[in-house]
Amino acid sequence: MDDLFCELRTFLKLIFMIIIAYNKPKGIICTTEKVADNIIDAVNHPAKLLPIGRLDRNSEGLILLTDNGSIINKIIHPDFEHEKEYVVTLNFPLRNQFLKQMAEGVDIGDAITKPCVITREPGTKRVFRIILKQGLYRQIRRMCNVMDYQVIKLERVRIMNIKLGKLKTGEWRELSEEEKNELLKELSL
């Protein structure tokens, strides 16, 4: 009987959980600590939410927040290899060798990054898209630095099936039922 009750409680928590997509501006810190410019105060949601992963202070774009801590690890842990897509602007024009080496993996000192998908943004000289299944500390910035580039702008535009879309900087929205169901399906929940 206790097992059935636990399963029912877990099921109800999944059905009624809140997941929001937030377009984090530069300067916001992805922490729940009571410090200036923290993400919790910036979002100002009535429910007690936790960020799912991080974006560094100088990065912007999509970050998810939830009131269900049990799904956080299933989304961010590198063993699950969930895709995260970014648009990156560099200080110099892209070289073909840079794109090739980034896609194959880069030695960033404490790790060699896993192969990833990287494409030049059409009509630009300094902008590319990168899809990672890994999330090392400041990974994209470190990869670019190793190759003598500096990141001018870094924006996450997708986490798994959730896209930033036209969500304005500093705004948030609750996931649609379709998005939430697809996310839970990808997480095998």
User: What DSSP letter does each residue of 92-122 carry, written as one string?
Assistant: S---HHHHHHHHH--B-SS-BPPP-EEEEPT
Q: For the chain, which residues make up each domain, given as ranges?
A: 2-77+166-186, 83-159
105-136 pLDDT tens trace? 999 999 999 999 999 999 999 999 999 999 88
pLDDT for the residue numbered 62: 98
Helices (H), 35-95: 39-43, 72-76
First to last CA, the chain: 21
Rounded CA gap, 142 and 104, in Å?
15
Q: What is the pLDDT of residue 6?
A: 61
Out of 2, 37, 41, 56, the active site residue is 56
Could you tell me if 85 and 164 are in contact, meaning their C-beta atoms sit under 8 angstroms apart? no
DSSP 154: E
pLDDT value for 136: 87
Instruction: Give the CA count within 13 Å in the CB-facing half-sphere of 143.
Output: 27
Give me the pLDDT at residue 14, please: 57
CATH number of 2-77+166-186: 3.30.70.580
Task: Name the 3-class secondary structure at 40.
Answer: helix
163 closest CA partner among 83, 103, 102: 83
Residue whose C-alpha is closest to residue 103's, from 85, 121, 115, 88: 115
Residue 37 appears among annotated catalytic residues? no
Q: What is the token pair recorded at 33?
A: 């600590």
Query: Any idea which residue has 């190793």 for tokens?
Result: 146
Residue ranges, the chain, pLDDT below 70: 1, 4-15
d(CA 186, CA 55): 22
> Would you state the CATH architecture of domain 83-159?
2-Layer Sandwich (3.30)
Beta strand pairing call for 151-159 and 60-66? parallel
